Amino acid sequence: MISNVVCTTDLNCEIDLRTLAKDNRNIVYDPTSYSGARWKHPKIGGHCMVFTTGKLIVNGKIKSVGDAKRRLRRYARLIQRQGWPVKLTGIKVVTISASFKTAGPLDLIKVVRYYGGQYDPEVFPAAMFIKDSIHFTCFHTGSVLMTGIKNSREMYEICVPVLIELPLLI
């Protein structure tokens, strides 16, 4: 199950973040602590980071790539309505995070032996390993978190086989 998608795009215009923050509610802009403005619109949802260069980054409880792109377009449209000459180019998925629950508990020592990861229960109660640039975090309860997924092809070709193999390592 997808738990978050991070997307980015370029608006092809420079944005005055002070004006944007002044004209909108729910925008936090403090150039002394962070170079971008953090925007959380109550109707659109999620978080949007806007930079003066015109870069937009959207994340936060997005369940699909299509939802992420729609949310990105909605934030860009709000900026465009305020007078900036916005022209979206290059919508790109940065990363996808997903979670999965196996039918039963996992033997984390066998997981580490099979996939060559690390497991130190005194430091962190999960086994962690990387397969083809995707990070897997496996808990004893059977919960598996996957981060670093770039597209649906990676999900089906890398994640699904691992999720099928994990319960078999008991």
Q: How far apart are CA 29 and CA 53, in angstroms?
A: 15
Can you give the residue ranges of every domain in the chain? 2-94, 102-169
Residue 122: strand, helix, or coil: coil
At the fourth CATH level, the homologous superfamily of domain 102-169 is TATA-Binding Protein (3.30.310.10)
Two domains, one topology: 2-94 and 102-169 = yes
Spans of the chain, pLDDT less than 50: none
Q: Percentage helix, strand, coil, to 5, in the chain?
A: 30, 35, 40
How much is the pLDDT for 102? 92
Tokens, residue 28: 């936090």
Structure tokens at 105: 């508990």
pLDDT, residue 61, reads: 83
Per-residue model confidence (pLDDT) at position 90: 87
Q: Which of 9, 15, 7 is nearest to 79 (CA)?
A: 15
Fold of 2-94: TATA-Binding Protein (3.30.310)
Phi and psi, residue 126, nearest 5°: -145, 155
* Beta-bridge mates of residue 57: 8, 49
Question: What is this structure's pTM?
Answer: 0.85
The pLDDT of residue 25: 86
Structure confidence at residue 170 (pLDDT): 67
Residue 76: half-sphere exposure toward Cβ, Cα within 13 Å: 26
